[in-house]
Structure 1
Amino acid sequence: MATSQQLPSKEQALFRHVVQNYESKQYKKGLKAADQILRKNPNHGDTQAMKALILSSQNKSEEAFELCKVALKNAMKSQVCWHVYGLLYRGQRNYEEALKAYRFALRLDPDSAQIQRDLAMLQVQMRDYDGYVQSRQTILQARPQSRQNWTALAIGLQLSGDLAGAEDVLHRFEESLREPPNRKDLEHAEAVLYKNTIIAERGEYERALEHVNSVLKSALDKTAVMEMQAEYLLKLERKEDAVKAYTKLLKRNPERRDYYAGLEKASGLDRSNSGDHEKLGQLYHGWAEQSERTDAPRRIPLDFKAGDAFKQHADKYLRRLFKKGIPSTFANIKQLYADPEKKAAILEVAETCLSEETQLNGDAESHETQTNGSVNGVQTKKSKTDPATTWQLSVNYFLAQHYDYHLSRDLTKARERIDRAIELNPSKTDYTFHMTGARIHKHAGNVAEASKAMNEAREMDLKDRYINTKCAKYQLRNHQNSDAISTMGLFTRKEAVGGPLGDLLDMQCVWFVTEDGESYLRQNNLALALKRFKSVYDIFIAWEEDQFDFHSFSLRKGMIRTYVDMIRWEDRLREHPFFTRAALSAIRIYCLLFDRPALAKKGAQLNGESAENAAERKKAAKKAKKDAEKAEAERKLAAAKKANPKAADEEETAKKEDRDPQGTEAFKTAGEKPLEEAMKYLLPLLELSPNNIDGQIAGFEVYIRRRKYLPALKCLLATRRLQPDHPQSHYQSLRFRRALEEDKTTLDPKVNAVIQDNFISQIADPEKSLETLNEEFLFAHWHSPKHVQAGVRLLELLHPELKPAKEKATKHLIQTLGEKGTTIEDAVEGLRVLRELEGSKQGREEYLKKAKERWPEATILREI
């Protein structure tokens, strides 16, 4: 096996420059130096490997791999070549191959600290905690004087489940210290508290309490130590001491609800016991009296009080906030609306307050009321207002939100109240009330007017980022994708490659990308929608990749507890709501691609769109193309103005250049193996969010298409367990039985036996036909739009070619529009079902006409 040849002294110095240039990201200089070495020593493997590493950093992966393989042939026993080979694979997220390369490099150079550290980082990234512990033990033996190495080993032992071993490592390091650390040593202070968390995780709360008491005076994070004390005292049933501990915490932060919950438990009080309500009321009254500005002890009693006691307290609480003119009053109490009695009591109080001219004291100070509060994080402006006006403004705004809320919705009254609030509003720059007016339009289904109203609110304060992003969201709901990007562009970097959208992707603005994708999906532009959902997927991949930096950074800075929290958070990263939304939408598109392969060749546009939508789509595509051309021209102009543009900027621009702005090429590629692509989104959902019923429904759709009947059955049973009467449970059950009947001759006998035991005998009645079961389902759930839609979809599945079946399905859907519980969202979904049926145009027009009669303002009711 060949080793890397020795270089003359001059070339050795050049090689060191290559390494330094790579580390400092001076890639052009590094390549120049490497080429200079290779001209005299064309087969020098280490130089070839370093050049490959630089090429990889320039986004030239294929060229880098080819060169690294040549380097390995020239120097098979060079640890540098194998190390670089591992780094290249790590850059491609091929961790298994990277791990093999690292281990081979380490075998050639067991004393290399850098290779050992890279191996350890890769192991913790892959959650190979046993391997990580071994690597960290080796590193510790080589450098026992560094605290980082002891702490890292303790972290590995903790994450692998060996809490006793982790504590022992930290204890042994403390014993090895010759001098006590400086009291201001942050790394030591954090390590001490980290050790305490390990003791607590072992369930030894008495010892954890003793330990935290011993470090109380020297601890830098006083709040964390006090919280630990209170928690341990409560778990040890030392309630008197726990009361004192939580009292101290509340004096530091009287708005922290967790502290009040701990104080309740320490005081032996139980909210579910009505006999304790009086004592709880006295407890919170005492804390409320300590400060006029504190809200939590005044708000919390509303959670457990009931009947007249609740109404009296709600009256006092709401009047206090109305008097102060707090805009966030409704947001603070809307959680109580889950209880119908409390909802009715709150409405009664608010209506009473509305009928009163003023409930304010007539002192001189009250005439200079400051309406200074926040709504959804937006600070309102201070203004000098007459007390009676402030009162009426607050009550009207509260009632507008009350009638707009989904549990108490009456949009006519909501519009009356918000119009009155806008009339009373003395400020011409406070957009709070106009924003709520836009929200009311949205809930009425008038997304066009909602977008217009929100834009008018935005123009009232052009420097406010919150209302700017809110406006962009409403524009996306109204399919104004280009306008939304322009709106967001007011707060993005002007020099960003790709314009505002490019900057939003760089900044990982996941909410905008998700909303943009969902907007394109509603417009049936599947290619652009899938492109956006893929971008969301890539953002979550980037978040996973970003861990690499913290594996060393957190140890270096001593932020151990936060680092462990981050690792555990990353393990459940795909539970994030935005990933779930993007994944479910992407899976839906992939399933459509599987069912209708021609979509990939038709420009990714579903059939059945209206002429209006088609025109809008063409207009949007034309505008997007024009914007892309404009952005490209601006980029070239900016580059031309620079006398000596930096190489790094050119490389970055080339890397970020979007060669498929409409996503059509990627969509065609996705159409080749759509279900395999869908699995990338599905597996994290099923693994990390097993109780998400939409994820289980999506899982069934993918697995039934792949003819993986046992996983499909597992998803179906999970759906029935989570919500037995879910409409998709019926649809998928009968669909599953139909698939089994079609494949019964090719089905594995063992698989069939499992299915018979878990499905046929428990879910689907084998004595009845699918048609009969579906008719019974429709008859039993004729009042529920979602159930009727599921039954109609099954009618189409059972009789796809029969015109009477399509007419019957259309009739069922039209009937649901007269049901009291039908929402606008149900009506929109009914339109989508009609499109999938591909029935008569007359039936769709009849459905749309009746829907518009019920919701005349709803622009969302359009042919989709």
Structure 2
Amino acid sequence: MPQPLSTREANLFRTVIRNYEDKQYKRGLKAAEQILKKNPKHGDTMSMKALIMNAQGKTDEAFALAKEALKIDMRSHICWHVYGILYRTNKNFDEAIKAYRFALKLEPESHQIQRDLAILQIQMRDYPGYVQSRFLMLKARPQLRQNWTALAIAYHLEGNLQQAENILTTYEKSITTTPLKTDFENSEAILYKNSIIAEQGDIERALEHLNIEAKNSLDRLAVMELRAQYLSQLGRKPEAAKAYRALIERNSEHPAYYKGLTDALDIPKNDEAALKAVYDEYAQKWPRCDAAKRLPLDFLTGDEFRSAAKSYLTLMFEKGVPSTFANLKHLYADSFKRDTVPAVVEEYVKEQESRADDQEKVNGDRSKGKGSALYFLAQHSNYHLSRDLTKALEYVEKAAELDPKSVELQMTKARIFKHQGDAQKASDAMDQARLFDTRDRYINSKAGKYQLRNNENEKALATLGLFTRQETVGGPLADLTDMQCIWFLTEDGEAWQRRGNVGLALKRFHTIYNIFDIWQEDQFDFHSFSLRKGQIRAYVDMVRWEDQLREHPFYFRAALDAVRIYLSIFDKPQGANGVNGVNGDSANSEDAAEKKKAAKKAKKEAQKAEREAAEKAVKQDPNKATVVKKDAEDPKKKDDDPNGLKLAATSDPLGDAMRFLGPLLQFSPKNIDGQIAGFDVYIRRKKYLLALRCLNAALALDKDNTRVQEQAAELRSIIEPLFDSLAPTAQKVFKAKFAALGRS
């Protein structure tokens, strides 16, 4: 049992808790010391002191003190609760859950411990445990609506939709007063219940619920969209058409509304005249509506397509819309449209050129239309489905004569150089485009990206540093990392990899891995925040999105790069793949020395650039010098491996590769590059059945892939000498697979 305190010291203990909650750590620590001076073996105070020390960054000391407190008082729920909080703040959620469970056994009525346990359970996707915790919380406080909603969400995420609906219905029946129309929480709960009904497949009842219960919902757009969707699913075409017309009236640029309307009108897909009539109706009603003019190009054919394309393109060129090609390039999947569109544009250019000088419009309007058309043709000739880089360069030069300072034209020129394989000219051209508009962050980012593609890491960092916070300690790189600029970290890592600096490349890829971890952990606060604010539907969407987080292409790309580097380190350990950060080759010591020298020079230049940026910030605002000094001394911000030397000097490259490979195979199983990388890692780890699994997945995706066929032959050559030593089950599996490969 906790050691009893005198009244004065008990009040002082409450002050310690309050100081911790208010983040007044020095005061809290001082108050705790006063208690421990008279009661040196008071476990609860020792635990609170440990909690404050942990908040101050003294993690090891905090854990040691918390364990000592537990030894003194194993029956204190506060000691166990604090122990769980320490594990939670250090991201060890499994151990934190165990500690919370012990605390809850000692204090079953503690709402705070129960809430903390529930949050960790949903964080770890322990849905059965989450249901149990939420049920106990509801039982303890049935008067709070969020407890009912949370239990419904728990059942929903667990897959028990019927029970989730029953919980929401039970609460609605228990309400004695009618909720206000402005009650946001009630509005969201009603729409959430409607989504649960729809997920069960009972569309008729979902529509009825929507019409009766959600008619006063604050989210009018969601109600209108759901009603149109339900009516369409139920085959009530006239009502669905009316609903979609109402949505178009609200937002005439949404393509899905037009698609829903034409489906509801039951117009056959091959009846182009009837389909076009629907779009023409809205094009006449709203002359400035782009969607009504553009979308018919998707289904029109022959002369009708040519006429509509000419009309639309003429309008866009006269307005000088730069995104015209981007809006139409999806049409190039059709060979007829791919040939027709540029022909129409060329006709427009000829018409513009054939006009007499006295017919020219004032203010350069005619040249604007011609310039836009030439810009379109340059993009057309640069596009991968219609690529002719010589023509593309001709068109962009002609357009540049009409508008020499056009950022878009200069960017297109840079892209053409990139597709020609000249990274240096592409980088220079994109940097020139940046100089045309130095206040545009987008073109600044594009210039930095092209410089990275040309392996100009230092120059790219300086370019991007023009838009970073000057006061950030560590310069532009630190700010870009703090802002989680993943595209930069990926491109920078790949550029260092090409330059042979494996250490810095791995440093960037590990940073990206950690950023995805941060995104995973960022959901933690939303488990309570979303319920408190009543944002239920968005919360459920967030949980489901987090479950698929590492499907993101950015993660796949960085993970694959990291795995390939670790494979190269394993295959060539003696090349120091980078204790010095250089991917060298002992067969050519001179080249290795040059690479090593260049890598060291690059590091020094990068460090110098960051240091100068920090000094410049201090000079611009001397008041920030104190902040800079404080941040520089902060142990949490200290990086003991800024150049990735320790990462490159790993003694277990395959184990490190698995850290990236696991999520890659789990969340992107349909990507053949990931399966190929998985085979390469497992075959080196001598995990032959796992290698076979990756090989099977790769063969299912593309059995004619050359690399996959090479891997199949490699596996056979490795397994055949070891066949007799394998387990009978493994022998059977490999024998069947090799027989199948032989037949194919």
Q: If the TM-score is normalised by the length of the shorter chain, which range does it land in?
A: over 0.9
Deviation at 1:105, TM superposition (A): 0.4
Aligned partners of 2:159 and 2:375: how far apart in 1? Answer: 53
Tell me which residue corresponds to 2:249. Answer: 251
Check if 1:487 corresponds to 2:463.
yes
Quick one: which of 665, 668, 680 aligns to 1:689?
Answer: 668
Tell me which residue corresponds to 2:603. Answer: 621
Q: Which moved more, 1:200-209 or 1:654-663?
A: 654-663
CA spacing shift, 1:160–1:456, aligned 2, 3 Å = same
Deviation at 1:644, TM superposition (A): 7.9
Deviation string 1:575-605 (CA, Å, 9 cap, x unpaired) is 1110011111111112122222233564231
Tell me which residue corresponds to 1:520. Answer: 496
Quick one: which of 295, 320, 329 aligns to 1:325?
Answer: 320
Deviation at 1:392, TM superposition (A): 1.0
Counterpart secondary structure, 1:459:
helix
Quick one: which of 8, 11, 18 aligns to 1:10?
Answer: 8
Counterpart of 1:518 in structure 2: which amino acid? Answer: E
Counterpart secondary structure, 2:723:
coil
Tell me which residue corresponds to 2:588. Answer: none
Check if 1:406 corresponds to 2:387.
no
Counterpart of 2:385 in structure 1: which amino acid? Answer: L
CA spacing shift, 1:571–1:110, aligned 2, 3 Å = same
Check if 1:666 corresponds to 2:661.
no
Contact persistence 1:216–1:222 (CA under 8 A): no
Aligned partners of 2:472 and 2:717: how far apart in 1? Answer: 53
Quick one: which of 422, 426, 431 aligns to 2:400?
Answer: 422
Counterpart of 2:733 in structure 1: which amino acid? Answer: V
CA spacing shift, 1:46–1:635, aligned 2, 3 Å = farther
Tell me which residue corresponds to 1:192. Answer: 190
Deviation at 1:659, TM superposition (A): 2.3
Deviation string 1:310-356 (CA, Å, 9 cap, x unpaired) is 22322222122112211101000111122222211112112222222
Contact persistence 2:672–2:701 (CA under 8 A): yes
Contact persistence 2:475–2:614 (CA under 8 A): no
Structure 1 segment 24-35 matched on structure 2, within 5 A: 24-35=22-33
Deviation string 1:346-387 (CA, Å, 9 cap, x unpaired) is 1211222222226999999x947xxxxxxxxxxxxxxxx423
Tell me which residue corresponds to 2:374. Answer: 396
Counterpart secondary structure, 1:255:
coil
Quick one: which of 225, 230, 235 aligns to 1:227?
Answer: 225
Gaps of 5+ in 1: 369-384, 767-864
CA spacing shift, 1:34–1:445, aligned 2, 3 Å = farther
CA spacing shift, 1:632–1:116, aligned 2, 3 Å = same
Quick one: which of 572, 575, 592 aligns to 2:568?
Answer: 592
Aligned partners of 2:625 and 2:339: how far apart in 1? Answer: 71
Tell me which residue corresponds to 1:99. Answer: 97
Question: RMSD of the TM alignment (CA)?
Answer: 2.6
Deviation at 1:610, TM superposition (A): 7.7
Tell me which residue corresponds to 2:480. Answer: 504
Tell me which residue corresponds to 2:205. Answer: 207
Deviation at 1:636, TM superposition (A): 9.5
Check if 1:542 corresponds to 2:518.
yes
Aligned partners of 1:97 and 1:638: how far apart in 2? Answer: 48
Give the structure-1-normalised TM-score. Answer: 0.81
Aligned partners of 1:168 and 1:360: how far apart in 2? Answer: 73
Deviation string 1:146-175 (CA, Å, 9 cap, x unpaired) is 111111011001111111111111111111
Contact persistence 1:733–1:764 (CA under 8 A): no
Quick one: which of 586, 595, 604 aligns to 2:581?
Answer: 604
Aligned partners of 2:626 and 2:466: how far apart in 1? Answer: 29
Contact persistence 2:448–2:464 (CA under 8 A): yes
Deviation string 1:483-535 (CA, Å, 9 cap, x unpaired) is 22222222222222322211222221111111111111121211111111111
Gaps of 5+ in 2: 586-590
Q: Which moved more, 1:600-609 or 1:542-551?
A: 600-609
Give the structure-2-normalised TM-score. Answer: 0.94
Contact persistence 2:471–2:614 (CA under 8 A): no
Tell me which residue corresponds to 1:657. Answer: 638
Quick one: which of 232, 254, 261 aligns to 1:263?
Answer: 261
Q: Which moved more, 1:184-193 or 1:46-55?
A: 46-55
Structure 1 segment 425-574 matched on structure 2, within 5 A: 425=403, 428=405, 430-574=406-550
Contact persistence 1:518–1:585 (CA under 8 A): yes
Tell me which residue corresponds to 1:779. Answer: none
Contact persistence 1:468–1:487 (CA under 8 A): yes
Deviation string 1:57-111 (CA, Å, 9 cap, x unpaired) is 2333222211111111111111111111112222232222111111000001111
Contact persistence 1:497–1:657 (CA under 8 A): no
Tell me which residue corresponds to 1:858. Answer: none
Aligned partners of 2:628 and 2:453: how far apart in 1? Answer: 41
Tell me which residue corresponds to 1:295. Answer: 290
CA spacing shift, 1:529–1:542, aligned 2, 3 Å = same
Tell me which residue corresponds to 1:304. Answer: 299
Tell me which residue corresponds to 1:701. Answer: 680
Aligned partners of 1:203 and 1:27: how far apart in 2? Answer: 54
Quick one: which of 37, 58, 73 aligns to 2:56?
Answer: 58
CA spacing shift, 1:612–1:254, aligned 2, 3 Å = farther
Tell me which residue corresponds to 1:726. Answer: 705
Aligned partners of 1:11 and 1:518: how far apart in 2? Answer: 60
Contact persistence 1:734–1:764 (CA under 8 A): no
Aligned partners of 1:652 and 1:268: how far apart in 2? Answer: 69
Tell me which residue corresponds to 1:840. Answer: none
Q: Which moved more, 1:322-331 or 1:50-59?
A: 50-59
Counterpart of 1:103 in structure 2: which amino acid? Answer: R
- The count of aligned residue pairs is 738
Aligned partners of 1:728 and 1:311: how far apart in 2? Answer: 44
Q: Which moved more, 1:626-635 or 1:191-200?
A: 626-635
Q: Which moved more, 1:568-577 or 1:709-718?
A: 709-718
Aligned partners of 2:628 and 2:372: how far apart in 1? Answer: 57
Identical positions, percent: 52
Aligned partners of 1:70 and 1:637: how far apart in 2? Answer: 49
Aligned partners of 1:637 and 1:738: how far apart in 2? Answer: 66
Contact persistence 2:502–2:578 (CA under 8 A): no
Counterpart of 1:619 in structure 2: which amino acid? Answer: K
Tell me which residue corresponds to 2:127. Answer: 129
CA spacing shift, 1:644–1:454, aligned 2, 3 Å = closer
CA spacing shift, 1:29–1:457, aligned 2, 3 Å = farther
Deviation string 1:8-28 (CA, Å, 9 cap, x unpaired) is 333333322322232222333
Structure 1 segment 637-786 matched on structure 2, within 5 A: 650=631, 653-668=634-649, 671-757=650-736, 759-764=737-742
Quick one: which of 44, 47, 50 aligns to 1:49?
Answer: 47
Deviation at 1:632, TM superposition (A): 7.3
Tell me which residue corresponds to 2:340. Answer: 345
Q: Which moved more, 1:604-613 or 1:223-232?
A: 604-613
Deviation at 1:42, TM superposition (A): 2.2
Tell me which residue corresponds to 2:272. Answer: 277
CA spacing shift, 1:602–1:121, aligned 2, 3 Å = closer
Deviation at 1:140, TM superposition (A): 0.7
Contact persistence 1:153–1:169 (CA under 8 A): yes
Q: Which moved more, 1:392-401 or 1:511-520?
A: 511-520
Aligned partners of 1:205 and 1:706: how far apart in 2? Answer: 52
